[in-house]
Amino acid sequence: MRTPSRQAGDEAELIDRARKGDSEAFGVLVERYQRRVANVAFAVVHNQDDAIELAQETFVRAYENLSKFESRSSFSTWLYRIAANLAIDFWRREGRHVVLRGEDAENELQRLPTEKGDSFKAASRKELSGRLSQALEELTPEHRAVILLREVEGLSYDEISEVLQCPRGTVMSRLHYARNRMRGLLKDLGQDEGG
Amino acid sequence: MLRSGKFPLLLAVLCALALPQVATAQQMRPQIVIVRVDSVLAADTNQGIDPQLGPMGPRLHKMFRYTTYQLVSEQNGRTEMGKMIEFTMPGGRILHIEPRSIDGNMIAMEVLLFQGEKPMLTTDLKLPDNGNLIVGGPHYEQGELIITIGANMASDVASPGAATTSAQAK
Amino acid sequence: MMAETDHLSLMLGPFEDRELEPHEYQEVAFHLARCEQCTAELADYTQIGRELRTLNLELPLEGFKEAVMQRIENLPVPFTLRLRRMFGGIGELFPSNLGIAVASAVAAAITVILVTPYAQTVTNRSGTSHEIARVERDLATAPAVTTQNARTELARDVAQVEEEPQAVISKLESDIPSVAVWNEPRMDTTVIWLPDQQ
């Protein structure tokens, strides 16, 4: 059975082999972390295609910089840090807020899970999800990153601090701000739609 | 043991193979330039200096003497020498910055500011590493727009977090 | 009371996330029992978290690993790795101590080839000393510099340094006729002002 400590040992061996040029070993690491890395990128840029592209770039950068990885932090945290930095840089460089509208919004909402049976509940969920997406767009990438890394990826404050390279206190204050802002935005959006 | 005749030949061949690779490896790493662009609304509406501006706020106040300075947007980007990077500015304006070369501790670059399709400003300049250029004056909301542009050379090309510019580089 | 509520409001998130110090949990729990506002706020945070987790999209990652490996395949092979592979191949043919000797000889040869142009410059030092002697002779025959001249020269140099622009503008084109350009040396800044034509 693969215990966490055993997996860590396997991982150290894979990293070591990858450092020596064994791309197959690196491929195993890609498979293991691709989903979480893509989710971290998506947490910031909130665009599916961009998130996948950034996640691929994350692994390429990680491969190029394997010699710089020090085992004092976990490999996954190191990967998330690269992904978060790339995503934040990308979002800033684009200089725009990507707000889902029209067909893009419709496509995104259709992918979301809906409750079967009760059409009224389904409609409410769809509305709420739309409002959540819109509220997330209103946050800066740093605030969006902390709230999604915490709520969706389940990272601890210390892990988030390491990924985003900021003090734990900053993580706490950004999270507080993001939650409050989301709360306010959701209330405003609900009032706008409800009339 | 090797016959002595073949050993010098092997050595010469190895040297000949190794040397070009050193030059090639050095050429393949382009110089990365980090560009910072901040947009500030400056107006005479007595709202004071936005704390988000940090130390830049009082400096702007000393230079321009408006009564309101408000940070509108803050953008960072990385690009390579010879590749243009684009920033969207408030008021429907677009900023293009293309670093061209390094001259001592100065970064030579071209800066274009567009209002729609039309360039309001085209300038070739050399900016000191970590120096600042301000382009100001275009009307925005109840005041004027001040764009601060800063550039510095990245020290580590391969550091994690260096975003690609393939989406914007032209 | 307001200050206490603000302070505890900051602790609600960490309370929910189990990131508080042990003694702080009791403080927050005790406050929540008395404060409807904070209880409602905490409930909203919990709801937001729950909804965000259901919002999580399943990103389509088919072919992701293959795409990454293809990009890695296309990366240039680092010089050090290429060298290692080259000498690794040679090491299979010969005893390892001979491989080390070969590597050392190659490194020495590369160093000599790279340093040789500079070595030649050093051996030409006698030319430099002739140049120094000529400059010293010229200085001895130059007219004496008075104190007044020196002060004027210095003042001019200082003024030049203060006027030295932070940026050097070689080209500036604009349709706006009243473009202004000036330096703020104390702010390490150059300004280009483009007033809108109203």
3-class state of residue C9 by DSSP: helix
Q: How far apart are alpha carbons C146 and C144 in whole angstroms?
A: 6
Q: Is the pLDDT of residue C136 over 80?
A: no
Q: Residue ranges per domain, chain C?
A: 2-55, 79-123
For residue B161, what pLDDT is reported?
Answer: 36
| Average pLDDT of the residues of chain B | 77
A15, A8 Cβ separation under 8 angstroms: no
Q: Is the pLDDT of residue C53 over 50?
A: yes
For residue A62, what pLDDT is reported?
Answer: 94
Of all residues in chain A, the one with the smallest CA distance to C45 is: A179
Q: What is the nearest CA distance from A95 to chain B, expressed in angstroms?
A: 5
Q: Is the pLDDT of residue C161 over 50?
A: no
Bridge-partner residues for B123, per DSSP?
A: B111, C172
Reported as a pLDDT band with limits 50, 70 and 90, residue C125 is: low
B16 vs C83, which has greater pLDDT?
A: C83
For residue A3, what pLDDT is reported?
Answer: 53
Counted residue by residue, chain A has a size of 195
Q: Which fold, A4-98+139-194? A: Rna Polymerase Sigma Factor; Chain: A (1.10.1740)
Q: Which residues of chain A have pLDDT under 50?
A: 1-2, 96-106, 108-123, 195
Q: What is the nearest CA distance from C49 to chain B, expressed in angstroms?
A: 28
Mean pLDDT of C19-36: 86
pLDDT digits (tens, 9 = 90+) for B80-119: 888 888 888 888 889 999 999 888 888 999 999 988 777 8
Q: How far apart are alpha carbons B142 and B46 in whole angstroms?
A: 12
Nearest neighbour of A89 by CB, restricted to B73, B78, B89: B78
Prediction pTM value: 0.46
CB within 8 Å of C111: residues ≥ 6 apart: none
For residue C118, what pLDDT is reported?
Answer: 63
> Which residues of chain A have a CB within 8 Å of the CB of C70?
none
For residue B15, what pLDDT is reported?
Answer: 64
Q: What is the ipTM of this complex?
A: 0.76
For residue B91, what pLDDT is reported?
Answer: 85
Taking CB atoms and an 8 Å cut-off, how many pairs form between chains B and C? 115
Q: Is the pLDDT of residue C146 over 90?
A: no
Cβ pair C65:A147 closer than 8 A: no
Which amino acid, one-letter code, is at B52? Q
Nearest neighbour of A176 by CB, restricted to C10, C49, C52: C10
A112 vs C131, which has greater pLDDT?
A: C131
Of all residues in chain C, the one with the smallest CA distance to B2 is: C94
**Burial annotation C112-122 (CB, 10 A radius, 16+ → b, else e):** eeeeeeeeeee
Cβ pair A64:B158 closer than 8 A: yes
Max avg pLDDT among A73-87, C97-111, C145-159, C172-186: A73-87
Tell me whether C94 touches chain B (CB under 8 Å): yes
Mean pLDDT of C80-97: 62
Tell me whether A129 touches chain C (CB under 8 Å): yes
Percentage of residues of chain B with pLDDT beyond 90: 17
